[in-house]
Amino acid sequence: MAQIKAVFFDQDGVIIDTERDGHRVSFNMTFEEYGFTDEWSVEYYHELLQVAGGKERMKHHSRTKGFSKPVPEEDLDDLVKEMHKRKTALFVELIEAGKLPLRPGIHRLMKEAMEAGMKVGVCTTSNEKAAKAVKETMLSDINFEFVLAGDVVSKKKPDPEIYNLGLSKLGLQPDEVFVVEDSRNGVLAAKAAGLNIVVTTNGYTEKEDLSDGDIIVTCLGDPNGEKGEMRKGDVPGFDGVLRLDQLTTYFAK
């Protein structure tokens, strides 16, 4: 029987619901600044989310649909890096302006883990600067063991490299950790790393195949706020709020 000693959180779609109204909007603002007429719709951005990483999404867009102005292949890498840097700055401005609130239950569960003496980490493919902004402006009272972000690993989710790195940093075994994820790529990465998995769905991911998750809820829930609905799992005492003690008991089975 394993004792849970740490919780790893994805960021985008888990800590804050960033994709539709954060990253997508920032990409479109950047395209306009650079003289492109490209505008990623809500539906098209869902397709792009199947490609892990912002720079990778822009390259995929360029090579499949093409930007509104031709971009020579030899110039693509440099242009993408430059635009992604600007996009990140715009995204950070949205965070600092408080336009992207935390998802229900995230801060509560992190506090519960800290108070229980457990380690808390973030494993995200989001840009390091963006992850730092979330940590310092919205979660400044949380003691993170690490925030692994961006290009800290060579292979992004669904590859398990970022989760394996987190385990290595803490010297823990996979069954001593549970992760909170929201997407198929994230779930596949956590599954490949052998971790216990809690899935919190959102508008972009609710129809994805998330069946490898051990527990699936619409959100973690807050006692005095939005409540979650259980899509998978049998957690005794669940009342719309998924609590740390319920999760540690569940994964100790």
Tens of pLDDT along 149-191?
A: 988 999 999 999 999 999 999 999 999 999 999 999 999 999 9
DSSP calls for 82-135: HHHHHHHHHHHHHHHTT-SPBPTTHHHHHHHHHHTT-EEEEE-SS-HHHHHHHH
Is the predicted pLDDT of residue 230 greater than 70, yes or no?
A: yes
DSSP state of 28: H
Is the predicted pLDDT of residue 1 greater than 80, yes or no?
A: no
Is the predicted pLDDT of residue 98 greater than 90, yes or no?
A: no
Residue spans in the chain of domains classed CATH 1.10.150.240: 19-96
Is the predicted pLDDT of residue 243 greater than 70, yes or no?
A: yes
Percent of the chain with pLDDT over 90: 84
**Residue 129 confidence (pLDDT):** 83
Angle among Cα 211, 145, 170 to the nearest 5 degrees reads 70
**Residue 241 confidence (pLDDT):** 98
CATH class of 6-17+101-251: alpha beta
Is the predicted pLDDT of residue 96 greater than 90, yes or no?
A: no
Instruction: Report the CATH number of the 19-96 domain.
Output: 1.10.150.240
For the segment 110-120, what is each residue's pLDDT rounded down to a tens digit? 999 999 999 99
Residue spans in the chain of domains classed CATH 3.40.50.1000: 6-17+101-251
**Residue 49 confidence (pLDDT):** 87
Among 9-23, 145-159, 238-252, the range of highest mean pLDDT: 238-252
pTM: 0.84
State the average pLDDT over residues 51-56: 90
**Residue 197 confidence (pLDDT):** 98
Burial of 122 (0-12, 13-18, 19+ CB in 10 A): buried
36, 61 contact by CB (below 8 A): no
Which residues contact residue 9 at a Cβ distance below 8 angstroms, ignoring those fewer than 6 apart? 15, 106, 110, 120, 121, 122, 123, 179, 180
Query: Which amino acids are annotated catalytic?
Result: 10, 12
